[in-house]
Amino acid sequence: MGSYFSEEISAQAARIIGRAVEKGLTLGTAESCTGGLVCGSITDIAGSSDALVGGIVSYANEVKENVLGVPDAVLATVGAVSEETARAMAEGARRVLGADIAVSTTGVAGPGGGSDEKPVGTVWFSIAAPAGTQAFLKHFDGDRTAVRSQAVAFALGLLEEALR
């Protein structure tokens, strides 16, 4: 049986696990629009438990708030698809999971749910590490599967960069 993920994603995830183990760092994820695919791509690699401590799929705002600690005021004012939410999700995952580095994804994968301000394909990411937290906004083209696949690749890229 092969991987659920593309060869590129699998190779990227394997590099991430290798670097994390080499550096003695642990990893975690907090995902909304990717629904656990970032964490899944990592756990698809044998030996991932040597670095990955866990992932939280926070699809509902209540989970973002009650598990990850995203402030209700943030969700009420700027919404789930925002820099502030992405940052709070990554920091919350780092704290709740006890991970050295955590990545988050929150966005509009489509086909519905988009708006003029946040069209389908809008995804916010954040990476929380000992050196601090950064957030990134990306706009992806394509259908739901394409948006989510591109989001997984970008999130893995953030983890890879954080481990350099």
Q: Side chain identity at 133, as an amino acid letter?
A: T
Could you tell me the two tokens for 30?
A: 């907090």
Predicted confidence at residue 2, as pLDDT, reads 66
% residues pLDDT > 70 (the chain): 99
Q: What is the pLDDT of residues 93-120, one digit of tens each?
A: 999 999 999 999 999 999 999 899 999 9
Number of Cβ atoms within 10 Å of the Cβ of 8: 10
Q: Strand 122-129 vs strand 101-107: parallel, antiparallel, or unpaired?
A: antiparallel
pLDDT band at 153 (very low <50, low <70, confident <90, very high): very high
pLDDT band at 3 (very low <50, low <70, confident <90, very high): confident
CA–CA separation, 32 and 79 (whole Å):
13
- CATH fold of 7-162 reads Maf protein (3.90.950)
